[in-house]
Structure formats: structure tokens, C-alpha cells
Amino acid sequence: MPVEDLATVALHSNIFVDTIIFDLHFKSRSIACSALMRRIALGEVNAYVNTQVLSDLLHKSMCAEAFKKSLITSANHQKLKKLFVRDRTSALQLTDYQQQVEDVLTFGVKVLRISRKTIIESKHERSSYVLMTGDSLHIHTMTNHSVPLTNIVTDDGDFAHIASLTVWQPQDVIT
């Protein structure tokens, strides 16, 4: 339940990293998030994600790239979808997002699988902690890992009420 400063994560900590942390790093909106990526790559921190985080990151990064390249007027998935309907070849202009996600995997992040069982059993987290589906999948994969994870790195306040977790947040997010 405590919310801690991301910049103070201890050496060799085992942490689950939420999508927003990668997004803040790639958009250069938090020095603490970028420092965490370096620490993960150096093996100073053991980072975990699940397949939901990677899927969300692909999605967010694709929308952000389309906006950055002025293909859409805001990083909104509905606008990107409309663009693809109008011009199927526009997707060929988007390649950076894929590289960003592949870079995350080369940092040494460990990927936890979301199985059929996880989807079914995560209903407990949704009802017990009143969480949205993605967040409940995060908590379920964390708590059912071979060595349960109790540290989550996020800029999302939806986890702060869970007593069994320590929430690590960047304190330097540029809005």
C-alpha cells in the first residue's frame, strides 16, 4: 500500500512494470523512468511485465508515432483506425513503435504469460480490489508468479489501495 519514489528502488529489487512507465520513458517525460530502464538493462533491477503490458505498449506507441508523424491529429486509437480504413498503406509509415517494444525486450525484462487460467482466476482481483480488467491481470500475474511480486512501478493510482503491494511512482513526470 505505501507509495514510494521510483528513484529509490533498491538494487536487485523484483518489480512489475506497468505500461505507462515505458510510455513515459519513450516520450522523455520522466528522468526517473528512463533511469529505471538503464538500471533494468544493467541488471541492477529485475523487471517483469505480462503480455498485457506489451500489447498495451504496442498500441500506445503506434498511436503516438502516428501522431508524431502528423498522420493523425491526436494520439487517439479511433483516429488511427479511421486513417487505416481510409488508407491501408499508411500503416507502412509506422515502424518505430515496433522497435521500441523490441527494445524493451532487449532491456532484460522478463515476460509473464497470461493464460486461460489467468483470465478466469483474475476475476477474484477484479471483485476484491475493484479493478479494471488489465489491472486485475497485472495483479494476478504478479501474485501467481513462482516468486510472488509485491512491487509495482506505475503512475496509475489504481493500485495504491492494495495493502499487499508497494507502489513505486515517478515523482518527476512532465505533463
Report percent pLDDT > 90 for the chain.
Answer: 92
Return d(Cα 18, Cα 72) in angstroms, integer: 26
pLDDT at 1 over 60: no
Which regions of the chain does DSSP assign to beta strands (E)? 3-5, 14-17, 46-50, 110-112, 151-153, 166-169
What CATH code is carried by the domain that includes residue 149? 3.40.50.1010
Residue 152 within any structural domain of the chain: yes
Number of domains in the chain: 1
Q: For 51-93, what is each residue's pLDDT tens digit?
A: 999 999 999 999 999 999 999 999 888 999 999 999 999 999 9
Domain housing 23: 3-169
Residue 175 within any structural domain of the chain: no
pTM > 0.75? yes
